Amino acid sequence: MRTVMIPLAIVAIAAPAIAQTPAEIAIRKGMDASAAGWNAGDLARFMDIYAEDAVFVTPKGLLRGKPAIADKYRSSFNGTGNARGKLSFAFLEMRGLDPAHAMLFARWTLTGASTSESGMTTLVFERRGAAWKIISDHSS
């Protein structure tokens, strides 16, 4: 029996690219902008992706509304960065629920000068006008 070796590069080129929907592109762009706001120490920019009536799940209960969620994060923002470290996301899966709603599963990572922490997030987005906004955030 003869084994045929196919260079990995050829397989990668021949594999079809997974097309992203306009919603996925917009949500990823919004999440990247939010992380950039976190990393710049800009709370308003970080929070821009949240809807005014968003709900955030905490170990102690629910935070309701964008102002309450912003208050949760406010102490780590100092205008030149974030005291908790640099934020990044690894997008794991996105599901369209209907034309106006999508769910994102991702891993968040905070990398500080000497520490790193990571967890999971499940975000529900709603299309509001031309923008996709987080209406539900469960991060652990």
Residue type, 75: S
Q: How far is CA 121 from CA 9, 15, 56, 92, 100, in A?
A: 33, 29, 11, 10, 20
Q: What is the pLDDT of residues 4-61, one digit of tens each?
A: 444 444 444 444 456 689 999 999 999 999 999 999 999 999 999 999 999 999 989 9
Residues 13 and 41: their CA atoms lie apart, in Å, by 40
Q: What is the pLDDT of residues 96-140, one digit of tens each?
A: 999 999 999 999 999 988 889 999 999 999 999 999 999 999 998
Q: Contact at 8 Å (CB) between 30 and 134?
A: no
Supply the pLDDT for residue 79: 82
CA contacts within 13 A on the Cβ side of 121: 21
